[in-house]
Copies of this chain bind each other. A is one copy, B any other.
């Protein structure tokens, strides 16, 4: 038994969407009392740190509807059911940046919001980029702009909150600890 385990008494399904599923669980607390937990299920995702030969960092800018503004982020995308994360990572890299790679390095994984959602992101790194000869299609409802930046530019984007999501801010710290400046 896991520490402080909360056993499910009943699950009520609220929403079964394309991106998320929502349920409300009645749970038995460690002290025997009951409570409810609001839970979001997500397929998981990948993100790719892509570094060019001249040590520039490739980012994509896209509109984020929940925030009603565009953010600059590391290339990323959702896992398809039963898809290996490395496969998703290569596909998203190709679609979003126009590069591919034969050298994808696994960095780490992390839960983005463990309090209410099970989304797990797998983070990869590559500095061996190969330009694609043909552009790959994005999802039909996906619009983004791809650009590369120096570390000083990334620092400035963070300061101005144009980069403002945790996975990208983690990626920038990771690059600094890896020796990029």
Contacts and interface: CB of A to CB of B under 8 A. Distances in A.
A41 B27 CA distance: 23
Interface string A137-181: 000110111000000000000100100111101100110110000
A6 interface: yes
B108 A31 contact: no
A117 interface: yes
Interface centre among A61, A108, A112 (most CB of B within 10 A): A112
B173 A177 contact: yes
Interface string A14-35: 1101111010110101110101
A46 to B, nearest CB: 12
A15 to B, nearest CB: 5
A71 B115 CA distance: 10
A112 B112 contact: yes
A15 B14 contact: yes
Given A110-B169, A166-B111, A4 B62 contact: yes
A19 to B, nearest CB: 5
A4 B143 contact: yes
Given A3-B145, A66-B39, A165 B110 contact: yes
Given A63-B3, A169-B110, A29 B116 contact: no
Interface of A: 2-6, 14-15, 17-20, 22, 24-25, 27, 29-31, 33, 35-42, 45, 61-71, 73, 78, 108-119, 121, 140-141, 143-145, 158, 161, 164-167, 169-170, 173-174, 176-177
6 contacts: A2-B69, A4-B145, A17-B24, A42-B116, A108-B158, A166-B170
